Amino acid sequence: MSVDNVIILGAGASFDAGIPLLDGFIEKMRYFYWKGKSANGDLSENDINVFKRAIEIMNELDGYHGRAAFDDRNLEDILSILAFNIIGREKYGARKLDQMIEAIVRTIELTCVINHDGKLNSIQYSSPGYYREFWDGLFKKYNKDKVIPTIITLNYDLVFERSLLQALITEKYRTNQFDGVIIKYYYSNMSFSFKQIDQDYHKSTYDGGFERVKGHGLKECKETDLVNPLIIEMLKLHGSVNFPRVLSSTSMGIQSFIKPAEKPFIVPPISNKSLSNKSVSIWRVALDRIQKCKNLYIVGYSLPKTDIYFQFFLKSALGPNNDFNRIFVYNPALFDDNGKSEIKKRYEDCFPEQLRNRIEFYPHYHHEKPGSFQNFVQNLSEENFFF
């Protein structure tokens, strides 16, 4: 597959959808347990128990501070220690990691404001709308140039799956150059196919009445049912809440696309060092796409110094790429005095001097929220955005 552009989405890309950043997950878990409620109301007894177990695990790790320095408010630090404890054959180590992952999934679901119930003939818009606009921008580019960027995400959530359905199921009729979409995860054989169909909707008018408008709906289908599909590569390097550890024929339906799996496949940071058979294909495809791309857009990711593995992934991917043009970094911290120099230095230290002048740290920044995901989405609508 020929891909000129690759988009990497970090935690900051999902932040406006309510998902905490890595250093906010633990605080949110503690809040849910102490308050017993979320923005949607009181938590169930099961949810309270999920967070109780997670806090008990974190309290056990608190005893490590006398002999080891780690950030007990950072999710990746905690997952790394739990993963190493399994290697060290700690009793109940695997159970503790599973319980922490369960708390992560519930935190994501309780905070996410982008929702969808899976009905493919029902318009379901959520705010903020620029998650839908992200997909609308990519559809527009595809309709014009017949290309779409590969999306690589470091997040576990389903913000972009749900907003994709919201963008496709709409009262806005479009003459698309595709008759449906295929979403390819490269997680085992897990993929989803939806055929675009014409759909009539009733839209309210200014005088209090309704008018009939023609838009689009979807229906589930086989890949072979589509003649001109739009193939969306969504590479979730660290797993996803909708990736079941054990795949079955029921893992491919609409509910599996927009709902968490009962036991999701989420990769703790240390597990990247020896990729499982389930995730190696995802990383292999991601490596291939960056090795061949011309432009790399990194949105909401600060390249933390602790993420050595991903730094070497980028180096390995870009090293043999002779056609590479530019890296565009979108991060609001670049416009803050405290984060500006640190983030720039981390990116510049990751690449040789001859490539540093190809890193755009302030691309198209004339926006009320410069460097944000919203800023990136606004730029998608610009005619000459992708080279």
Dist CA 182 CA 194 (whole Å): 7
Where does the pLDDT of residue 209 fall: very low under 50, low under 70, confident under 90, or very high at 90 and above? confident
Dist CA 322 CA 69 (whole Å): 41
What is the DSSP secondary structure assignment for residue 17, as one 8-state letter? Answer: T
Burial class (CB in 10 A: 0-12, 13-18, 19+), 373: buried
pLDDT per residue as tens digits for the range 20-38: 988 889 999 999 999 999 9
229 prior amide bond cis, ω within 30: no
What's the average model confidence in pLDDT over 358-379? 85
Q: Which of 198, 376, 185 is nearest to 284 (CA)?
A: 185
Dist CA 56 CA 76 (whole Å): 17
Task: Assign 166 to helix, strand or coil.
Answer: helix
Where does the pLDDT of residue 335 fall: very low under 50, low under 70, confident under 90, or very high at 90 and above? confident
% the chain with pLDDT above 90: 55
Dist CA 275 CA 236 (whole Å): 13
pLDDT per residue as tens digits for the range 149-163: 999 999 999 999 999
Indicate whether this model's pTM tops 0.85.
Answer: yes
Q: Which amino acid is at 183?
A: I
Task: Assign 244 to helix, strand or coil.
Answer: strand
